[in-house]
Structure 1
Amino acid sequence: MVVSGQGLLCVFTLQKETPLANAVFWAARKGNLALLQLLLNSGRVDADCRDSYGTTALMVASYSGHYECVKELIMQGADINYQRETGSTALFFASQQGHHDVVKLLFEFGASTEFQTKDGGTALTVASQYGHSKVVDTLLKNGANVHDQLNDGATPLFLAAQEGHVTVIRQLLSSGARVNQAREDGTAPLWMAAQMGHSEVVKVLLLRGADRDADRQVCCSFVILKMQEHLDGSGDLYNKLHVFICSLQNGSTALHAAVTGGNLQTVVLLLGASADPTLPNKNNELPAHLTKSDRILKVLRPKVLNKDN
């Protein structure tokens, strides 16, 4: 299984130098507006106080969904578009958590959709990944780029397809997302949805023109580059992984992926859209060679025989 993502939900350390700053973060996290106002109005602590990772109280309040605390921090002069060490902003965290009201508030005061995290993530990519359709709609209406990409080439559409978020996929396609745009490793949204068994997603993508027989040509140079980042010159292991990865599912179609994923409904959908069951992968394997499921083989074999005839 090949996946793409933006990491685990953020866990704030909130390590501060002063007790007052710690109290500001606590109030922002818990939604204690009265305490937050008391602290900020004292003049002894700044609205933009930060922890050692550059996390601000506004980010914490946005992540936690505390609308009034977010508004108070903004009114007290907090920098809306300040980026944490990872590149995340308050808008990113509110979008990640699906806090639609907070997202709208941030836009009212000038939040930007253009900032990226270190892995290329944006508010739109993370909202799409977690299936927050209302947030996605608001982001798109406020200038978010439907063609945003993570460093590995994954688009908002790819991430939504990977996780099975049908509503978000329809929104993105209606906003101009390219249905066949693959990641850098050659994996297209349809291929990923088929492997994950998201049959409704497969249906929507096929209806919107996804290439049913496009093969997944893994770019070995891309994979090797990623391996080098982690292997630190371990020669023997490197060589073995090189051979393995460069043959792994190379040339396989969405139908291969669906069969491997074991989802009968997805296999039937692809066959109904005229996916070719006689196309082999690089190892000369047909989709039927990749399963022992009698139910899947029952629908594949007649199609193969018809193609042969």
Structure 2
Amino acid sequence: MSFKKETPLANAVFWAARKGNLALLQLLLNSGRVDADCRDSYGTTALMVASYSGHYDCVKDLIMQGADINYQRETGSTALFFASQQGHNDVVKLLFEFGASTEFRTKDGGTALTVASQYGHTKVVDTLLKNGANVHDQLNDGATALFLAAQEGHVTVIRQLLSSGAKVNQSREDGTAPLWMAAQMGHSEVVKVLLLRGADRDADRQDGSTALFKAAFKGHNSVIEELLKFSPSLGLLKNGSSPLHAAVMGGNIRTVLLLLEANADPTLPNKNNELPADLTKSDRILNVLRPKILNGDS
């Protein structure tokens, strides 16, 4: 967290809040010469700083001194947002006791729940959901809390969100679903959980690629093994190519073998009339493709 101090006294209040120096903070606030809601030029308050830093006693003292719990700084962030971002569940609970709201959004659409999900703070996510956080919160680009958790590989948070009604196939504005993102990042356990909870194995995004296609290109074999359990499409996709083409371009021979074992067709040309074998110069990959092609031709 960065902030600009405006006066020496405000500077001291921010320092005390950041360091957790309760005695100094009380001395300054009780002097009557500085307000509990003193702010820097970004609108950052001492309560936000103490919440970000996880100093429970300082947070409580600032609240008792009249600090505005739901004040938003220039970016839209609140004390609850910062405490959630950093995983300070005791501070989050305290803020709720004094009326913190889950409804405030940052300029990019972020909420306390989206940021806690993104950083994998399971206890905070639980507290937020119990205090009315909307499991369907989305960033401005359409990314949900579930999407962000899937992107970062936070399996427990994903289970929490799904149990609270999160939509497993809710995609971002560009059509990217949580499953696709988890597959791209190589989070096999996340992929497994999402598939078991009804994720569309063949959902494609705007570029026509599926989770299997992306995992094949990246060589995420543990992800591919999970996807293959649900019989995803091995044929031509909307992007005019197949997962096997992607695997060959990615250059991971184990990936190629996995798809061949699942009956991917090496004689299937892409939209440019290219066979998978046309997309590599690797002798090892060509050697596993060519026998299949010859058998297909025969």
TM-score range, shorter chain: 0.7 to 0.9
CA–CA separation in structure 1 for the residues paired with 2:135 and 2:51: 23
CA–CA separation in structure 2 for the residues paired with 1:280 and 1:106: 49
SS of match in other structure, 2:24: helix
Deviation at residue 280 of structure 1 after TM alignment: 2.4
* Kept after mapping to 1: 8 A contact 2:244/2:266: no
Give the counterpart letter for 1:280 in structure 2. Answer: L
The answer on 1:252 being equivalent to 2:252 is no
Which of 3, 7, 31 does residue 13 from structure 1 map onto? 3
* Kept after mapping to 2: 8 A contact 1:14/1:25: no
- Provide the residue aligned with 1:167 in structure 2: 156
Which of 245, 254, 268 does residue 225 from structure 2 map onto? 268
What whole-Å deviation, never above 9, does each CA across 1:220-257 have from its counterpart, x for those lacking one? xxxxxxxxxxxxxxxxxxxxxxxxxxxxxx11111011
- Provide the residue aligned with 1:298 in structure 2: 257
CA–CA separation in structure 2 for the residues paired with 1:145 and 1:139: 9
* Kept after mapping to 1: 8 A contact 2:183/2:212: yes
After the TM superposition, which residues 233-244 of structure 1 pair with which residues of structure 2 at under 5 Å, given as runs? none
SS of match in other structure, 1:63: helix
Give the counterpart letter for 2:65 in structure 1. Answer: Q
CA–CA separation in structure 1 for the residues paired with 2:73 and 2:267: 56
After the TM superposition, which residues 78-93 of structure 1 pair with which residues of structure 2 at under 5 Å, given as runs? 78-93=67-82
Deviation at residue 112 of structure 1 after TM alignment: 0.2
- Provide the residue aligned with 2:245 in structure 1: 289
* Kept after mapping to 2: 8 A contact 1:133/1:167: yes
CA–CA separation in structure 2 for the residues paired with 1:88 and 1:280: 41
CA–CA separation in structure 2 for the residues paired with 1:108 and 1:129: 24
Give the counterpart letter for 1:101 in structure 2. Answer: D
CA–CA separation in structure 1 for the residues paired with 2:266 and 2:199: 24
Give the counterpart letter for 1:184 in structure 2. Answer: E
* Kept after mapping to 2: 8 A contact 1:195/1:259: no
* Kept after mapping to 2: 8 A contact 1:259/1:288: yes
CA–CA separation in structure 2 for the residues paired with 1:193 and 1:144: 24
Superposed structure 1 runs of 4+ greater than 6 Å apart: 306-309
* Kept after mapping to 1: 8 A contact 2:195/2:201: yes
Deviation at residue 123 of structure 1 after TM alignment: 0.1
What whole-Å deviation, never above 9, does each CA across 1:57-114 have from its counterpart, x for those lacking one? 0000000000000000000000000000000000000000000000000000000000
- Provide the residue aligned with 2:278 in structure 1: none
Of structures 1 and 2, the one with the larger relative CO (CA 8 A, separation 6+) is: 1
- Provide the residue aligned with 1:22 in structure 2: 11
SS of match in other structure, 1:260: helix
Structure 1 stretches lacking a partner, 5+ long: 1-10, 218-249
Deviation at residue 15 of structure 1 after TM alignment: 2.1
After the TM superposition, which residues 215-226 of structure 1 pair with which residues of structure 2 at under 5 Å, given as runs? 215-217=204-206
What whole-Å deviation, never above 9, does each CA across 1:167-212 have from its counterpart, x for those lacking one? 0000000000000000000000000000100000000000000000
- Provide the residue aligned with 1:130 in structure 2: 119
CA–CA separation in structure 1 for the residues paired with 2:236 and 2:45: 53
Structure with larger Rg: 2
Moved more, 90-99 or 261-270: 261-270
